[in-house]
Structure 1
Amino acid sequence: MADKVTKTLLHSIELQQYILDTSAYPREHQFLKELKEATMEKYGRLRELNVPSDEGLFLSMLLKLTGAKRTLEIGVFTGYSLLTTALAIPPDGQIIAIDTDKEAYEVGLPVIKKAGVEHKIKFVHSDAIPVLDNLVAEKENEQGEGFDFVFVDADKTAYASYHERMMDLLKVGGLVVYDNTLWYSTVRMEEDEAREYMRSNEMMGDDLDGFIAGRASIVGFNKLLASDPRVEISQVSIADGVTLCRRVL
């Protein structure tokens, strides 16, 4: 399904469409295409709350290169990135997936079942912080293992809080991937300019203040990551900005 491109940092929409048509869509797994179609049918333009196809391929490559088996996902929506992970990790791999919206998860669940990977997934219907705190306590009590890989695509105002818990939950050498860290290109703008830009973006809907708050949080979060000696970082200008953090301490 060739979506209309709106979630890209490239100045040329045509170039982004070329990337999707030439390398992403031909390599996109059939079950991911089906999940995307189910999301479109249910949510329309809000389908973009899932990661785009080229980012999905990027995540799949990271998972396979790192050999990740025990993974965590914060923010699921209908499960495009979740299914991407489930298809990429080994048969005995595990994913703890946390989201407050169970109804959205259940839109993609029939496709996840059809793909034969539901057994890898433990979906937790909850705010993320209490679940993460429980996982930290289990690990401190030597009842839980560290994670190999974490994908975060949830409440942007909570990214800094998530990150502190990631430093307890990730194995040394483990990778956490934060989505949307360039926030529709607005991180480089002054707030008034960003507000005007985002007002003109059809994805903003009626929650302009929420998007502005998300932008402010992302700007602060990017500064935090840049000064954190516990991680190596690489910010990648794919989709809406993705930051890779490898725990080293």
Structure 2
Amino acid sequence: MSSSESESSQQGRHQEVGHKSLLQSDALYQYMLETTVYPREPECMKELREITANHPWNIMTTSADEGQFLNMLLKLINAKNTMEIGVYTGYSLLATALALPDDGKEKKQGSFDFVFVDADKDNYLNYHKRLLELVKVGGVIAYDNTLWNGSVVAPPDAPLRKYVRYYRDFVLHLNRALAADPRIEICQLPVGDGVTLCRRIK
């Protein structure tokens, strides 16, 4: 590769450390961050995001656009009692906490309005079974990483990173199970690494 080609390749790479957006254009994603997300990002979230960017496992963090989405979602559904399963450095948890009203709270048990799940993918279905007993009718469960680096549509012999390949079958199984579950309404969004919203209806 020539130096000019290398430089062009570097310019096309995403500037956000830990970026896992499924948008095909890095430039378009960067535009979205710089015009919509970063100008409204609270200073405490910005500071946490920048600290996390220096961690060797920064890919595990919730993306800034997903944090903004979760914050807006909680306000739209007027969530007061929430829980998070799986916390890395706390970016998504902070986005949730900042969205709660004065009488809202992060809880460990009870009737929940909203639960965000970003933990071990091989246990997602176990979490789902339990959460349907904890989330109230009309409440929302959000599952992160349900498009799993885009690997959900990769052919069986695709050259995937080891951990991506290992968890892919669990993610595929989850997606099929959620689609067939009559107790919920679902909506899968290409935000971050894929977020599936489940609204409990029975």
TM-score, structure 2 length as denominator?
0.88
Give the Å deviation of 1:40.
Answer: 2.6
Trace 1:115-154 onto structure 2 (pairs within 5 A).
135=109, 145-154=110-119
Q: Which has more helix, going by share of residues?
A: 1
Deviation at 1:95, TM superposition (A): 1.1
Where 1:186 maps in the other structure, the secondary structure is: helix
How many Å apart are 1:6 and its aligned residue? 3.3
In structure 1, what residue type is equivalent to 2:201? V
**Number of positions where the alignment pairs a residue of Structure 1 with one of Structure 2:** 188
- In structure 2, the residue matched to 1:19 is 32
2:105 match = 94
Q: Deviations over 1:45-69 (max 9, x none)?
A: x223121111111000110011111
Aligned Cα RMSD in Å?
1.5
Task: State the alpha-carbon separation in 2 of the partners of residues 40 and 82 from structure 1.
Answer: 17
- In structure 2, do the counterparts of structure 1 residues 246 and 157 end up closer, same or farther at CA, with 3 Å as the change threshold? same
Paired with 2:127 and 2:18, the residues of 1 have a C-alpha distance of 30
Moved more, 9-18 or 150-159: 9-18
1:183 to 148, 151, 163: 148
Does the alignment pair 1:77 with 2:88? yes
The answer for unaligned runs of 5 or more in structure 2 is: 1-14
Paired with 1:224 and 1:40, the residues of 2 have a C-alpha distance of 34
Measure, in 1, the Cα distance between the counterparts of 2:42 and 2:135: 28
Per-residue CA deviation, residues 167-205 of structure 1 (Å, 9 max, x unaligned), is 101000000000000000110122321xx1x33xxxxxx
Q: Match for 1:239 among 184, 192, 196?
A: 192
> 1:10 corresponds to which residue?
23
Identify which of 216, 222, 245 aligns with 2:169. Answer: 216
Asked if structure 1 preserves the Cα contact closer than 8 Å seen for 2:113 and 2:139, the reply is yes
Identity %: 51
User: What is the TM-score normalised by the length of structure 1?
Assistant: 0.72
Q: 2:79 and 2:167 mapped to 1: Cα distance?
A: 29
